[in-house]
Amino acid sequence: GAGVSQTPSNKVTEKGKYVELRCDPISGHTALYWYRQSLGQGPEFLIYFQGTGAADDSGLPNDRFFAVRPEGSVSTLKIQRTERGDSAVYLCASSSTGTSGGAGYNEQFFGPGTRLTVL
């Protein structure tokens, strides 16, 4: 595809349920990022993958949140026992490679996000 795609575009679930959000990065991009954007706020970093491994998961708020990228392409963000406070837009981005400080920067291309509503 031409850009980063995310499915579903909208997801409504009930408190306590399990949800999976999918991100398809730009083909060939080795780095993938997840962000959460709550209403009226800027995006908040959750996790960053370099290839199949999570290079930085310091932004995951608690152990209910988990993300995988088993083949180094598509990634799934998984949220267990959803809470109303998890309601937000979940954004995914990819770049051609991650950046090691001082080694240059590769632009992150964002998808349109998944709007998650927990009732």
The contact set with other proteins (CB under 8 A) reads 31, 33, 35, 40-45, 48, 55-56, 58-59, 89, 91, 93, 98-102, 104-108, 110-113, 115
Distance CA(110)–CA(93), nearest Å, equals 4
Contact between residue 28 and residue 96 where contact means Cβ atoms under 8 Å apart: yes
Distance CA 49, CA 27 (A): 15
Least Å distance, CB 112 to other proteins, is 5
Minimum gap (Å) between residue 100 Cβ and other proteins: 7
Nearest to other proteins of 16, 112 (CB atom):
112
Rounded to the nearest whole angstrom, what is the least distance from the CB of residue 3 to other proteins in the complex? 8
Q: Of 54, 56, 57, 58, whose CA–CA distance to 68 is shortest? A: 54
Q: Which is nearer to other proteins, 20 or 57 (CB)?
A: 57
CA-based nearest residue to 55, from 69, 38, 71: 69
Place of tokens 């932004």: 59
Of residues 7 and 80, the one with the C-beta less far from other proteins: 7
